[in-house]
Amino acid sequence: QKAVEHSLPKARAATVCIEIKDGSGTGVIVSEDGLVLTAAHVATGVKKKVTVILEDGTRLKAETLGLVADKDAAMIRILEKGTYPFVEMDRADTTRLGDWVFSLGHSGGFDKERGSVVRLGRLVRIASSTFQSDCMLIGGDSGGPLFDLSGKLVGIHSRVGQQLQVNMH
């Protein structure tokens, strides 16, 4: 509990809602100049205009940069110059089966009063480029971050399972 409480403010500040056409998803800022990592199925293409909404409700213009469909990963750039809250990625690949993790997402779209939704779980399966967790994700969480308890980004929500506890990152 203490680890999540310590990591949560920074993680929440960097977690964004992404509005694109008639839908929304989630993403996470991974650089101070505004690069956002999300799922490819949230970005839906390259050079698409989207709106990124920060935790405080600030709406920013952004553009999709590119995607890797087979990994369900994409990058978006915030077009407005600035310094943005961001999280570190676990580049050392320290995540292991059974580790406790927490996820954030804007399920159902942005809601300033509610904020991003936090879910705690464990890694229950690890494949070559995919984690499965038992974090309870729902629609709108896609593209959102999965963190280890130190607050490092270890995955992006890719496929929300038909059973709430079966989710791939």
Active site residues: 41, 72, 142
d(C-alpha 166, C-alpha 30), whole Å: 26
Task: Please calculate the CA angle 85-74-168 and round it to the nearest 5 degrees.
Answer: 95
- Beta carbons within 8 Å of 113's beta carbon, 6+ residues apart: none
Listing DSSP states for 119-140 in one string gives EEEEEEEE-SS-EEE-----TT
One-letter amino acid for residue 38 of the chain: T
Collapsed DSSP state (helix, strand, coil) of residue 9: helix
Strands 153-156 and 159-160 turn out to be unpaired
